[in-house]
Each structure stands twice: as structure tokens, then as C-alpha cells.
Amino acid sequence: MKENKVLATVNGKEITENELEVFLQNLAPQVAAQFSSEEGRKKLLQELINQELFYLDAIDNNLDKEENFVKELEAVKISLLKQYAVAKTLNNITATEEEIQEFYNKYKDTFRKPESLRASHILVDDEEAALNIISEIKDGLEFSEAAKKYSKCPSNVNGGDLGYFTKGRMVPEFENAAFELNKGEMSKPVKTQFGYHIILVTDKKEASDSSIEEVRDELERQIIIVKQNSAYNKKVTELTNKYKVVIQ
């Protein structure tokens, strides 16, 4: 276990490495990034020291007994207790294996994987250039080499490979042409707002059902949400019958 190093002491109160880490983690990510350096951590440590000094001064001056502080503390306590009570009702709710299986069987179609394909492309400015490249490929130039040589798309460094995608991910003209091709088939020049594309489909996957293991986390999450909503509403009904509620 990593030693919880003491970084400073203020009137006998130790400020440790763990406290500094917690303080850093509670900052917004963009703010925390500014304090990730050694110099930044020194500034955070100084802030923790400053806060401890203010705390000691507040105790010495009995600020904890002032009426405004007591009111604010009570308001914070009430808010925190409300949140704690709700969490107490909801946090222990889980999904059983039987519930997961039943939910999967009932809503299997919801988790169906759509048809997808993997394609590479070459993007150029005009149709004539595209036709010339197609001729070179038919004469023996590898598609990936042609993409590296001619394509103006950043995918050129990968030989034009765009990876797998489903319908709705590409511009319509490109998508329509790609999904009409068979595996291993190359398109004619396809015009889009970006220029002229030569598309090569390298793999196709038909729509299929996701296995229960593939979607287990999502199944569990949805079941727990449903059960938590039910538990929350049941508890509210119970409490409404117990305590008097008047809506003006």
C-alpha cells in the first residue's frame, strides 16, 4: 500500500498526500489539468493550508455558533439527509440473473446489431482523376497504394481504410453506393459534397442479434433503472399516506 505522506502540518493538523489527491479529483477536469505539474500541486497544497488556517480562525472566533452559520448548516444537513434517504431506498437494488435473461428474451430485437460494412476509399477533386485511378487499379496498382498516392482524405495514411460503419454514419451518396457493393467490389466514381470517391468494400456483416454477454451491462442498467423507479414511487406512495401533504 502506498504511504500516505504528510505534506504539511497546520497547528498540529496533518495535511496528507491523499487529501491533496482528493482535492485535485474534485476539481473540474479542465481546472485540474492546470495543477497537474509539480508547481501546480504546490499551489494546491498552499490552498489546503489556507483553508485550514481559515477553519482555525473560524473556530477561535466562534463563527460556528453564529446564527447565519447554524441556519446554513441546518439547510445543508436537511439537503444531505434527503439525498441520503433516497439513496438508502435505491442503492441496494440489483438485477438478478433470471431478470437479465427474461429482459433479454423480451427485448432481444432492441439490441440487434445493424448491417455494417468495412470500406476503403480514395477521394479526389474531379471525376476524370477518379477514372484514371480506377484504370491504374485495374492494371494492377494496389488500392491501398493508390489511396496513399492520390487520396486527399486523411484516411490515405491507412490506405484509405475507414473501418466498419453502419447506415447513417456517412453522407447519403457515399453510403448508398457503399451498401450496394458486394465484398471485394469497387465502385465507379461517387460524387459527394467532398469530391469524387472510389469505394472498395473489404468486408460486410449482416444484421444479427447481440449475445446476452455483449449487452449484459446495458440489460442490467435498464433493469435497475426500472426497479429503482418502481421502488421510488412505492416509497413516495407509502410516505404520502403516512404524512400529511397539502398542495396549495
Can you give 14-26 as a three-state secondary structure string? EEEHHHHHHHHHC
Backbone torsions φ then ψ of 151, nearest 5 degrees? -70, 140
Tens of pLDDT, residue by residue, the chain (248 residues): 567 899 999 999 999 999 999 998 888 888 888 888 889 999 999 999 999 999 999 999 999 999 999 999 999 999 999 999 999 999 999 999 999 999 999 998 888 899 999 999 999 999 999 999 999 999 999 999 999 999 999 999 999 999 999 999 999 999 999 999 999 999 999 999 999 999 999 999 999 989 999 999 999 999 999 999 999 999 999 999 999 999 98
Backbone torsions φ then ψ of 161, nearest 5 degrees? -65, 125
Domains and CATH numbers, the chain: 6-87 (no CATH), 113-208 (3.10.50.40)
* Helix intervals (H) in 28-163: 29-32, 38-60, 67-90, 97-106, 127-138, 143-150
- Looking at residue 58, the DSSP 8-state letter turns out to be H
Question: For position 214, what pLDDT does the model report?
Answer: 92
The grid cell for 231 is: 421502488
Residue of 169, 118, 116 whose CA lies nearest to 143: 118
Q: What is the spatial distance between Cα 147 and Cα 123, in angstroms, rounded to a whole number?
A: 8
Residue 181, amino acid: L
Backbone torsions φ then ψ of 207, nearest 5 degrees? -60, 140
**Which residues are CB-contacts of 53 (< 8 A; sequence separation ≥ 6)?**
10
Q: What is the spatial distance between Cα 126 and Cα 194, in angstroms, rounded to a whole number?
A: 10
Q: What is the spatial distance between Cα 222 and Cα 202, in angstroms, rounded to a whole number?
A: 36
* Most distant pair of Cα atoms in the chain: their distance: 89
